[in-house]
Amino acid sequence: MSVVKINVLTVPEPMREELERRFAGRAGLVEEADGFEGFELLRPVEGTDRYLVYTRWRSEEDFQRWTESRAFAEGHAQAASERGAAEGHGHGHGGPAASGAELWSFEVVEQAEPKG
Ligand code: HEM
């Protein structure tokens, strides 16, 4: 059964645009990861002010392998260093856009897709 891993990001208001810009310019490497089933960046509207990075994986092992991979490190180059912000898009704001991150883990129990 698939697993869902959600990275919950606390993003100060002035950094929200920068965070979205970084994701828009993301490495696009996760698509190649074994067992990757999908990802969504979710912008908060009501009930929370934290961004969710929703990811789904074939198994726990596939997710763990990805987090230990070079692709994960490369996919987080902007988040990890001042360089990403400075070089990537030239809008200043060095350093991480998020001030905090928390990982939530779930097992998919039931699922449905639209017919046809
Ligand atoms: C300290 C923890 C983390 C922070 C602050 C963070 C933040 C970010 C940021 C700003 C990006 C945009 C790309 C870049 O920075 O180069 C990114 C990419 C991404 N993050 Fe995270 N992240 C963290 C950990 C995680 C974890 C644990 C997951 C899995 C649930 C995750 C899932 C993703 C995915 C799927 C991408 C796109 C990578 C690609 O395109 O290959 N992140 N993250």
pTM, two decimal places: 0.90
**What token pair was written down for 38?**
């999908």
The domain total for the chain is 1
Cβ of 98 closer than 6 Å to ligand 1, yes or no, is yes
Cβ of 108 closer than 6 Å to ligand 1, yes or no, is no
Residue 116: inside a domain: no
Residue 54: inside a domain: yes
Residue 84: inside a domain: yes
Cα 79 to middle of ligand 1, angstroms: 7
Residue 12: inside a domain: yes
Domain that holds residue 97: 3-107
Distances (CA, A) of 101 to 23, 44, 95, 96, 113: 15, 15, 14, 11, 30
- Tens of pLDDT along the chain (116 residues)? 899 999 999 999 999 999 999 999 999 999 999 999 999 999 999 999 999 999 999 999 999 999 999 999 999 998 887 554 444 444 445 678 999 999 999 999 999 999 98
Residue 115: inside a domain: no
Output helix, strand, coil percentages for the chain, rounded to the nearest 5: 35, 25, 40
Q: What is the CATH number of the domain that holds 54?
A: 3.30.70.100
Residue 113: inside a domain: no
Place of tokens 């074939």: 58
